[in-house]
């Protein structure tokens, strides 16, 4: 069906690594090469992965090229970008002819036909550049949250690129909000995007809550400033986060965004990405609201 490269960053994920290996080994179409980048784990993750790789020639364990100042944000974007570059290098050394490249976050479990389905979508539509599954989140009490996700915005945790699309944007952007920026850059380069609503992956912790919900929503606010979201969208997102069930979520999100604005923090260096988030994304939501009202 076409070989693909898989990249996973991992930091102190020892307890979940057996399930991660299992979810990839169970795939009906397994990756030609899977690069796991250990990001300075202190819980034995790297050692366990090294042992697992001995019996799996398609699994390569690499050490992160930089120390983590903040595990998420721009750091994890650079680690994923570097992981893609190393996967390409190893594929060339091993003579692997690949057509697709994918991200898989270390805390996500997949249905067995996950990559077979994604590859099938790309093969059926030559204009399609990026696809993904829907990603639902599991709360501490075991409840799976089914949040709204747009069908034209692939999710970062399972983002799956056609090789030509990734080449067209110069690789994964090394910025905060890299997954959304990659979607935008691919769209601006002429590629179509698709999320498969009936293909569900499950994240074992709620998105952006690794260091607590407050820090997670604050991080979303900083990302929104960096990418250039219109203030009207900031207000709408804050309201949506609050209504979602966390009374303070919107507050943490807005406070972080305002803090970045007051300090005039740097924004995305790509003006086309900023223009999309500042204007075109707002127009998309206004059109959607108008259709809903009508």
pLDDT tens readout for residues 246-277: 789 999 999 999 999 999 999 999 999 999 99
**What distance in Å separates the CA atoms of residue 253 and residue 259, rounded to the nearest whole number?**
10
Can you name the residues that pair with 136 across neighbouring β-strands? 202
Q: How many CB atoms are closer than 10 A to CB 291?
A: 8
Secondary structure of 80-112 in HEC code, one letter for each residue: HHHHHHHHHHHHHHHCCCEEEEEECCCCEECCC
Give the pLDDT score at 72.
Answer: 58
Give the pLDDT score at 289.
Answer: 60
Number of residues assigned to the chain: 294
Q: What is the mean pLDDT of the chain?
A: 90
**Entry pTM:** 0.90
pLDDT in tens, 17-32: 999 999 999 999 999 9
pLDDT in tens, 148-203: 788 999 999 999 999 999 999 999 999 999 999 999 999 999 999 999 999 999 99
DSSP state of 157: G
Domains of the chain and any CATH numbers: 3-203 (3.90.550.10), 213-293 (no CATH)
Distance set, CA 78 to CA 72, 173, 223 (Å): 10, 8, 15
pLDDT in tens, 96-147: 999 999 999 999 999 999 999 999 999 999 999 999 999 998 877 666 666 7
Give the pLDDT score at 232.
Answer: 93
Q: How many CB atoms are closer than 10 A to CB 206?
A: 17
- Using pLDDT thresholds of 50, 70 and 90, give the confidence band for residue 204: confident
């Amino acid at each position: 069906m076409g070989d693909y490269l898989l990249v996973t960053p991992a930091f102190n994920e020892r307890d979940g690594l057996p399930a991660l290996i299992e979810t990839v080994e169970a795939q009906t179409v397994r990756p030609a090469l899977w690069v796991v980048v250990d990001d300075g784990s202190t819980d034995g993750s790297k050692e366990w992965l090294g042992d697992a790789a001995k019996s799996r020639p398609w699994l390569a364990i690499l050490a992160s090229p930089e120390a983590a100042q903040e595990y998420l944000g721009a750091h994890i974007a650079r680690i994923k970008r570097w992981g893609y570059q190393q996967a390409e290098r190893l594929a060339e050394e091993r003579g692997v002819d690949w057509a697709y490249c994918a991200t898989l976050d270390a805390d996500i479990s997949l249905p067995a036909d996950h990559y077979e389905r994604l590859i099938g979508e790309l093969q059926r539509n030559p204009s399609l550049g990026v696809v993904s599954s829907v990603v639902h989140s599991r709360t501490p009490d075991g409840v799976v949250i089914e949040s709204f996700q747009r069908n034209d915005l692939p999710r970062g945790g399972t983002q799956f690129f056609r090789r030509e699309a990734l080449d067209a944007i110069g690789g994964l952007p090394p910025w905060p909000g890299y997954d959304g920026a990659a979607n935008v850059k691919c769209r601006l380069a002429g590629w179509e995007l698709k999320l498969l609503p009936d293909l569900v992956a499950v994240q074992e912790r709620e998105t952006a809550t690794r260091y607590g919900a407050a820090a997670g929503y604050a991080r979303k606010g900083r990302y929104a400033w960096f990418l250039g979201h219109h203030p009207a969208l900031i207000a709408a997102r804050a309201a949506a986060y609050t209504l979602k069930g966390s009374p303070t979520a919107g507050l943490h999100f807005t406070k972080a965004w305002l803090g970045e604005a007051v300090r005039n923090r740097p924004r995305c260096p790509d003006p086309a990405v900023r223009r999309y988030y500042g204007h075109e994304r707002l127009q998309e939501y206004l059109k959607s609201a108008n259709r809903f009202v009508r």
